[in-house]
């Protein structure tokens, strides 16, 4: 039986020409951190919720209010849309979620999707510049990457929601850019500099927004100091 994902609209906006940022987290949670930061920093409005019988039975409580674990935020003037998820989708949900994002983009006449993943490295990237690579599914997307002088991945494998967005986006003529940021291979270390680098690139790709990434870098420094002093971070944010 096919998995069905419902989109419940709560606000109508004109989002023609907007860019969608995919926030369904991968194993490296970069997408989730990027999405949360964009929603909070740009004060985006919640315009829809996503739900499915196959989603985890989770209600996120924030400021005493329950919320769906998958939501859509947007700003009409800034022409940005963020799909935000509080859970990592299992393999059975990857294609249905990606196809829902693509169908929503087509229905709302959005022109580009940006997704982010982590690239594990054995090098210690805490004290050096994180490298970010790009993959564009169409020539237009690759030209955007060239304009930013971003190194484009020559050979590799991308999996998960990002992979389906790249592949199916080609068929539907929707620009998809996947940003791949180096992250520490140590699973016990939360790498906040990687999503910060991704947000810097998103800022350059979107002339309609201005994103201050400095608070995220300060958070990264706090975590790194905790690691050096205590051996592991005691918290994610705050």
* In a domain? residue 132: yes
Q: Specify the pLDDT at position 84.
A: 95
H or E stretch covering 46: strand 45-51
In terms of DSSP H, where are the helices of 72-213? 91-107, 139-147, 160-172, 193-205
Phi-psi region of 78 (alpha: psi -120 to 50; beta: other; left: phi over 0): alpha
- Under 8 Å between Cβ of 11 and 45: yes
CA angle, corner 168, sides to 201 and 57, nearest 5? 80
Domain count, the chain: 1
* In a domain? residue 127: yes
Phi, psi for 200 (deg, rounded to 5): -60, -40
Q: Longest C-alpha distance within the chain, in Å?
A: 52
Q: Specify the pLDDT at position 182.
A: 85
H or E stretch covering 183: strand 175-184
- Provide the residue range defining the domain that includes 50: 19-230
CATH number at residue 165: 3.40.50.10900
Q: Specify the pLDDT at position 232.
A: 42
Q: Specify the pLDDT at position 42.
A: 95
Closest CA to 79 of 26, 33, 38, 28: 38
Q: Specify the pLDDT at position 183.
A: 81
* In a domain? residue 207: yes
Q: Which residues of the chain have pLDDT under 50?
A: 231-238
* In a domain? residue 235: no
Tens digits of per-residue pLDDT, 76-86? 999 999 999 98
From residue 87, how far is each of 28, 57, 71, 91, 161 by CA, in Å? Answer: 12, 10, 11, 13, 13
* In a domain? residue 236: no
Query: From CA 117, how far away is CA 17, in angstroms rounded?
Result: 24
From residue 60, how far is each of 44, 64, 70 by CA, in Å? Answer: 18, 10, 10
Q: Specify the pLDDT at position 168.
A: 97
* In a domain? residue 12: no
Q: Specify the pLDDT at position 222.
A: 65
Tens digits of per-residue pLDDT, 106-165? 999 999 999 999 887 766 555 556 789 999 999 999 999 999 999 999 999 999 999 999
* In a domain? residue 138: yes
* In a domain? residue 151: yes
């Amino acid at each position: 039986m096919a998995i069905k994902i419902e989109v419940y609209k709560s606000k109508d906006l004109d989002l023609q020409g907007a860019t969608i940022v995919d926030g369904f987290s991968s194993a490296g949670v970069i997408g989730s951190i990027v999405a949360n930061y964009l929603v909070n920093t740009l004060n985006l409005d919640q315009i829809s919720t996503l739900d499915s019988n196959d989603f985890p039975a989770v209600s996120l409580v924030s400021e005493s209010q329950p919320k769906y674990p998958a939501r859509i935020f947007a700003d009409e003037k800034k022409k940005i849309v963020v799909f935000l998820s509080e859970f990592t989708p299992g393999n059975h949900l990857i294609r249905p979620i990606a196809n829902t994002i693509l169908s929503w983009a087509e229905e709302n006449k959005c022109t580009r999707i940006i997704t982010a993943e982590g690239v594990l490295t054995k090098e210690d990237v805490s004290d050096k510049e994180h490298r970010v690579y790009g993959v564009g599914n169409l020539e237009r997307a690759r030209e955007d990457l060239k304009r930013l002088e971003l190194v484009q991945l020559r050979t590799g494998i991308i999996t998960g929601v990002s992979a389906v967005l790249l592949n199916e986006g080609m068929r539907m003529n929707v620009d998809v850019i996947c940003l791949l940021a180096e992250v520490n291979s140590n699973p016990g270390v939360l790498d906040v500099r990687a999503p910060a680098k991704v947000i810097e690139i998103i800022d350059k790709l979107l002339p309609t927004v201005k994103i201050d990434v400095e608070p995220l870098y300060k958070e990264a420094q706090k975590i790194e100091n905790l690691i050096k002093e205590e051996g592991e971070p005691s918290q994610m944010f705050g």
